[in-house]
Every structure is written in C-alpha cells, then in structure tokens.
C-alpha cells in the first residue's frame, strides 16, 4: 500500500480500511478527549508562551514550553489529524515528558485543509523551523540543536523537512538545514494512495501534488538523522509506509533507525510523551543527546 505500482483501478474501500486508524483503534473521540484533558494540565503545570506567531496567518503560531536550563535542545512537535483537523492545543501534553529533561518544546499550529493545501502546510512547517532556529535563545534553546517530531500527518511534515536541502545564501538560511534530527511516529510518507480515499474531497490532492508531498519520493542526497517509529497495532499499510521510508533512507546511505512501538495503536503512540520516564521519552532523549 505504500506505493501505486499496480495498473489496476484503485480500490477505495480497501484504501479506506488501510488508512483509517479508527478501523483498528476504535473511535478517536476518547483519545482526543484525553489529549485535551492532559494538555490543559500541561499548560497549568509548565511555563508556557502561547500563540507565539511565526507568520502572518492567525493559525501560524507556536506554543512554546521552555527548559529551565539555557542552551537546551529544542524540539518542535508537529501534530497529526490528516492535515484537516486538530491544533497545537490538543498536544501541549507532549511537553510534559520532555521539559523535565531540559528540552525546550515548541508545539506547532498550522493551517488545515481544505482552506490550505498540504504544500502550504509544508511551507508553514519550514517557516516555523526557521523561526525557532533564529529565536531559540529567547526560550532557553540552543539554535544549533533543533529537532522535529511529528505524529501521523506530522510525520509527513518531518519527512519533508528532512528532505529539504538548504542552498548556500538562501534567505531562509538557519532553518531546516540546521535541524539535527527528525523523529516520525506512525507517519505517512507516500500520499498517492490517499488520492483514492475518503480524504480526497478535503485534501484535493492532484497526482503531481501527492508525489511532490511524499517524503518517500523525495529522499535527499544528504539529511539529518531520522528515528522512524510506528505503532505495533497500526494497520499493515501504516507499518509498510514507515518501513519503506526507513529502507529508502538507508539505501541512500542516510542515517535512519526504525523501531516498532509494541502494543500501541495509532492514537496511543504519542501518549507515552506524557511520562518523563517512558521508554518513548527515553528513546527521544537518546536520539537528541547523541
């Protein structure tokens, strides 16, 4: 399911079943309610600078939770929602696992389809990375240690940032070129199947746009390291997407690690970031700290 190699007509029912997480995990409502509840708690317990603009669109903002130690690594978290739902506010909770380890966390907000395209979201992620690189010291961050984490559709955005190669003298110098690593959690790396899914009326993907926004098809000649994680209870299609992306990176001789988060469904894969002592938090700390 990670690529459209067959000449047979696409089977929408099969694609929907493969890429709809609720088919395996059940209704997402209870999971989102927990995200909201735990994020509200995070904003109460952590110092936060909310709705910091990185662009002119009202949705172009970051919620930033600074480390207490100047010169700390910075992690930008990019949420999922199939590019059409949710916001940074449901994901403040990810800071609870990382800030106690002296990591500054910026939770990204971005525009949603169909008001914007996925290419627009990619430009917004790029702009936010540039903003953080230039302003990290305002929130106890080290501009030379900027990392990105993305869940689901956010994983696609991490892949696009890792695919970006900064040209010398570019006006965006100091942005994604200085990203030291990217972590994807149950990400999507080949968007072509989604053109034939229930999402298409909202995403409005053309054949060209689906290919252009597929990190699997944009493996660069050089890249920061990647940690590719996927839930063990995901559909085979989701697991295949992560494994295909990792394999393509290793074949291009780019640094990449692949790991299955055993026993976790699509919505559970980010929940361990609530806990400073979870194995997921430990994996991220090891990746950031090396």
Question: Mind listing the pLDDT tens digit for each residue in 64-116?
Answer: 999 999 999 999 999 999 999 999 999 999 999 999 999 999 999 999 999 99
pLDDT per residue as tens digits for the range 7-52 = 566 799 999 999 999 999 999 999 999 999 999 999 999 999 999 9
With a pLDDT cut of 90, the percent of the chain lying above it is 91
* Domain encompassing residue 219: 43-165+174-289
How do 179-185 and 256-261 pair as beta strands? unpaired
Q: What is the pTM of this model?
A: 0.93
Average pLDDT, the chain: 93
In the structure, what pLDDT confidence band is assigned to residue 277 with cuts at 50, 70 and 90? very high
Residue 167 has pLDDT above 80, yes or no: no
Task: From 178, 116, 180, 179, select the one nearest 153 (Cα to Cα).
Answer: 116
Element (H, E) at 253: none
In-domain check, residue 11: no
Assigned domain for 56 exists: yes
What was the pLDDT predicted at 169?
43
Q: Hey, how many other C-beta atoms are within 10 angstroms of the C-beta on 161? A: 24
The CA-atom distances, in angstroms, between 274 and each of 194, 268, 277, 288 are 30, 11, 9, 18
How many structural domains does the chain have? 1
Whether 3 is covered by a domain: the verdict is no
Q: Residue 112: enclosing H or E segment and its boundaries?
A: none
26 φψ region: left (φ > 0), alpha (ψ -120 to 50), beta (else): left
For residue 234, the domain's CATH number is 3.40.50.1820
In a domain, 17, yes or no: no
> What pLDDT does 4 receive?
52
Q: Is the pLDDT of residue 257 over 70?
A: yes
Task: List, in sequence order, the alpha helices (H) in the chain.
Answer: 12-19, 22-25, 29-45, 95-98, 118-135, 153-163, 200-203, 207-212, 236-251, 279-289
20 assigned to some structural domain: no
């Amino acid at each position: 399911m990670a690529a459209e190699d067959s000449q047979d007509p696409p089977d929408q029912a099969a694609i929907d079943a493969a890429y709809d997480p609720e088919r395996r995990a059940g209704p997402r409502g209870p999971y989102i309610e927990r995200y909201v509840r735990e994020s509200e708690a995070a904003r109460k317990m952590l110092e936060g600078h909310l709705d910091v603009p990185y662009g002119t669109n009202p949705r172009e903002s970051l919620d930033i939770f600074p480390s207490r130690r100047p010169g700390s690594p910075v992690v930008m978290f990019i949420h999922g929602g199939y590019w059409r739902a949710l916001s940074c506010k449901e994901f403040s909770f990810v800071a609870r696992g990382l800030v106690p380890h002296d990591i500054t966390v910026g939770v990204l907000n971005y525009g949603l389809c169909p008001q914007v395209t996925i290419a627009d979201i990619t430009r917004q992620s790029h702009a936010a990375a540039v903003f953080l690189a230039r302003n990290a010291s305002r929130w106890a961050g080290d501009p030379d240690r900027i990392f990105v984490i993305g869940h689901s559709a956010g994983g696609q955005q991490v892949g696009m940032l890792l695919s970006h190669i900064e040209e010398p003298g570019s006006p965006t110098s100091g942005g994604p070129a200085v990203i030291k690593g990217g972590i994807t959690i149950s990400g999507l790396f080949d968007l072509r199947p989604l053109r034939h899914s229930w999402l298409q009326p909202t995403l409005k993907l053309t054949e060209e746009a689906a290919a252009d926004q597929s990190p699997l098809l944009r493996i660069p000649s050089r890249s920061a390291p990647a940690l590719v994680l996927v839930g063990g209870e995901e559909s085979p299609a989701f697991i295949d997407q992560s494994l295909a992306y990792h394999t393509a990176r290793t074949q291009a001789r780019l640094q990449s690690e692949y790991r299955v988060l055993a026993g976790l469904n699509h919505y559970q894969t980010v929940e361990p970031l609530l806990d400073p002592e979870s194995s997921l938090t430990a994996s991220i700390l090891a990746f950031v700290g090396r």
